[in-house]
Amino acid sequence: MTGMALFGALRKLRVSFAGAAGICAAVMSAYACMTGYPVSAVRAVLMFGMFLLAQVTGRTADPATSLAVSAAAILFGKTRALHQAGFLLSFGAVGGILFAGSWRSRLLKGTTAGMSLAVQIMTLPVTAYFYYQFPLYSILLNLCILPLMPFILGFGMAGIVGAACSIEAGRFLLAPAHYLLKGIRFLCGKVRLLPFAGIVAGQPQLPKIAAYYVVLFSVVILCGIIEKKRENSEKFVKTGKIDLIKSGIAIILLAGVFFDRDPRPFSITFLDVGQGDGCCIQNQNHSVWMIDGGSSSERKLAENCVEPFLKSCGIGQVDYWLISHYDEDHVSALLEVLEGYERSLDGRNAAGITVGTLLLPDLVEIPELAQKLLVLAREQEITVRFVGRGDLISAGKMTMRILSPQREDVYENSNAASVVAEVQYGSFRALFTGDVEGTGEKQLLQEGLLRDVDVLKAAHHGSKNSTPLLLLEQTEPEITVISCGAGNSYGHPHEELLARLEAGGSFAVRTDLQGAVTVEVSDDGYTVSGHLNYREAG
């Protein structure tokens, strides 16, 4: 928009085609440099360059050709851009604008509604793949926002020019753009509070996305052929039946991409949260559980790790969130979720993951961090349940048995008072030990509360004295998962613990080496797989 306006102004001043093109090319290149060369800016500059080249040579600039040449140029210099959200969304949005040119109905052709619908049809599968959500009201929201963009851009550019003369002039000219942007942000914040505003659909499979675009493009080509054959039929053109066919097929395809998912198996995923603990249990279609969720080495853990993982699995609500004890490296993600909580009209958390029930250790003394959790839970009307030894919580075929802490007992520290929980699904059993040590650990060993398990979550991130040999003898785990951060200053997991696990016949799996660790349970047994985290994969 800026480049075209500048080129038009220069031509009105009777600057030659070559001179105007040279000035515009320099200005737009400086713009790309100013913005740090993001893909969208580079694409815009390259496409505008194709337009300038066409003007100088007296040829016609074809938008589709310009888009293809820009994509080829960017990928030639940076092949990995093909896997990045910015590249795919930028080119998908422009492709959607080109797609909007094929509308025939008066309601869609040349209108904001038609352009918004076309852009959404082109970009929604990519949006779902990277952000795992379906923005239900985005098309309606664009009807309000898109008409404002020329004014925002115009006042913004005017403010830059005015600021070159004086700061006061720049502020005055930028003010309308500032308040328009604030209004847009306010509107977006209110829209996300509407029922079903953010539908968490999970990450669609790549073959489904590929099939979506193949079928969509085939339909567009076929409709183009039909339109050419019947271009003399005014009634057909006015009614826009072809547009209904395109939109209907796109909606059907999108439904397949978003909602056609295989049944969810029972699985336990030990997240790579750095130096901390966080585990997600997907109890088939019955419920979703979180056990802990915190880190002492990673900031914004909920935003950067926990919520993306849950949403990528199509999970928008955690039915039960169990906290073993009140240390930052076990609770920071939950605190982040609760502090940013925003109730929508349909009761979900519009700002992120919805929490159903908090399960907290039943202690004689309530620590300060626990009090903070309780205040936040009360403000957001989240159910809180205190758990202790003997509690049983069942959901479908899954049962959680709480082994510790003992109610009304006083422990020497928060680690000793950790919740220890056994999860059973059919014949499969897993034991979650938090950071249990001292008195809490002795009670487990002396009172015969432990049984054989398939998977053990090592206590205290694999510290030297945790998970003693007697505990391994009583539980006999085939797999022991150690949740710790790469290169942590504590030396976790300690060599002595690793030696004990080897002596006890338990295979150690570590989040600092394997990334997130998933245990998937079926009628035939269970499988264990590791997934490199975003830091290692990057």
pLDDT tens, residue by residue, 294-334 = 999 999 999 999 999 999 999 999 999 999 999 999 999 99
Assign residue 401 a region (left: φ > 0; alpha: ψ between -120 and 50; beta: otherwise).
Answer: beta
Of 461, 395, 470, the residue nearest 433 (C-alpha): 461
The type of residue at 51 is F
Q: How far is CA 397 from CA 145, 201, 355, in A?
A: 48, 25, 22
Residue 517 has φ and ψ, to the nearest 5°, of: -115, 125
Whole-number Å distance between alpha carbons of 168 and 174: 10
Which helix (H) or strand (E) element contains residue 534? helix 534-537
CB 203, CB 132: distance < 8 Å: yes
Sign of torsion, CA 104 105 110 112? negative
Whole-number Å distance between alpha carbons of 255 and 525: 33
Low-confidence ranges of the chain (pLDDT < 70): 230-240, 532-538
Q: β-strands 276-283, 507-510: how paired? A: unpaired
The type of residue at 235 is K
CB 373, CB 335: distance < 8 Å: yes
CB 298, CB 304: distance < 8 Å: yes
CB 74, CB 120: distance < 8 Å: no
CB 392, CB 399: distance < 8 Å: yes
Whole-number Å distance between alpha carbons of 273 and 333: 10
CB 418, CB 395: distance < 8 Å: no
Whole-number Å distance between alpha carbons of 143 and 112: 6
Peptide bond into 135 cis (omega under 30): no
Q: Quote the pLDDT of residue 163.
A: 92
Residue 456 has φ and ψ, to the nearest 5°, of: -120, 130
The type of residue at 393 is I
The strand pairing partners of 424, in sequence order, are 399, 429
Alpha-carbon Rg for the chain in angstroms: 29
Of 267, 245, 325, the residue nearest 517 (C-alpha): 267
Whole-number Å distance between alpha carbons of 353 and 317: 6
pLDDT tens, residue by residue, 52-103 = 999 999 888 889 999 999 999 999 988 888 899 999 999 999 999 988 888 8
Q: Quote the pLDDT of residue 448.
A: 85
Structure tokens at 389: 């030894």
CA atoms within 13 A on the CB side of 100: 22
The type of residue at 102 is S
Q: How far is CA 290 from CA 282, 499, 538, in A?
A: 9, 30, 26
Structure tokens at 84: 């990045």
The type of residue at 375 is V
pLDDT tens, residue by residue, 112-126 = 888 888 898 899 899
Structure tokens at 78: 């940076």
Q: How far is CA 100 from CA 115, 119, 273, 308, 352, in A?
A: 5, 8, 43, 32, 32
CB 127, CB 135: distance < 8 Å: yes
Sign of torsion, CA 446 447 450 451? positive
Q: Quote the pLDDT of residue 242.
A: 75
Structure tokens at 393: 């919580």
The type of residue at 353 is I
Of 412, 405, 302, 289, the residue nearest 349 (C-alpha): 302
Strands (E), 153-275: 198-200, 266-270
CB 332, CB 276: distance < 8 Å: yes
